[in-house]
Amino acid sequence: KTQKPVTDANGLYKFTGLPDGEYEIEFVESTLPDDFKITLTDVGGDDAKDSDGLTPAGVIDGADNMTIDLGIVPVIPPVELFNIGDYVWYDDDHNGIQDDGDRGVKDVRVVLFDENGDELAAVFTDANGKYIFEDLPPGDYVVKFDANTLPAGYIVTTQDQGADDKDSDG
């Protein structure tokens, strides 16, 4: 005989009038609350406290078996990650703007700091002057260019002379 109890407000359920024997219980995953999933099963050594999964088995042998359960946890949406990067270039006409024909500067050290001023990472520009910090969680960051790694005789050009995607922010 199949019984179909429903959990109460506290998540408890009970089968009644079962004779001794082996039983299989099926938890119906499609009835879980929205945005919840089944937690890890059979973790730890205490069967009375761990989650037994979708289709656990149990034995009734002269006493109630109150250890067959299912744990659920909220589904945590993935955090969207971002990249920060761009370009270090020779500004030969000193206008603070990336113009056609400007060449990239390689081996400039670029340092990423968090909002508290703690250094998170450092990279060097590639052969084309490009750099990137990848897979960053949302937040406030500061990018600094190590002036000690600029080519001899060069300084940082004038900043904020145009749109952010073409001017020096530096």
pLDDT in tens, 61-92: 778 877 778 888 999 888 899 999 999 999 88
**Residues 31-41, mean pLDDT to the nearest whole number:** 86
158 Cβ contact partners less than 8 Å away, ≥ 6 residues apart: 94, 95, 96, 168
Local confidence band at 162 (pLDDT 50, 70, 90 cut-offs):
low
How does the average pLDDT of the chain come out, rounded? 85
CATH number for the 1-76 domain, one of 2.60.40.10, 3.10.350.10, 3.40.47.10, 3.90.110.10?
2.60.40.10
The β-bridge partners of 82 are 136
Cβ(170)–Cβ(146) below 8 Å:
no
Alpha-carbon gap, residue 103 to 89, rounded angstroms = 5
pLDDT at residue number 108: 96
**Residues 88-104, mean pLDDT to the nearest whole number:** 88
| pLDDT above 80 (res 50) | no
Winning range, highest mean pLDDT, from 68-72, 141-145, 156-160: 141-145
Cβ(121)–Cβ(70) below 8 Å:
no
88: nearest Cα among 160, 157, 135: 157
pLDDT at residue number 122: 96
CATH number for the 82-149 domain, one of 3.40.50.11780, 3.40.50.720, 2.60.40.10, 3.40.50.300?
2.60.40.10
Which residue is listed with tokens 């002057």?
A: 129
More confident residue, 57 or 140: 140
Local confidence band at 165 (pLDDT 50, 70, 90 cut-offs):
low
| pLDDT above 70 (res 31) | yes
56: nearest Cα among 82, 38, 80: 38
CA distances from 57 to 39, 42, 60, 142, 152 (A): 18, 12, 10, 56, 74
- Where do the CATH 2.60.40.10 domains begin and end in the chain? 1-76, 82-149
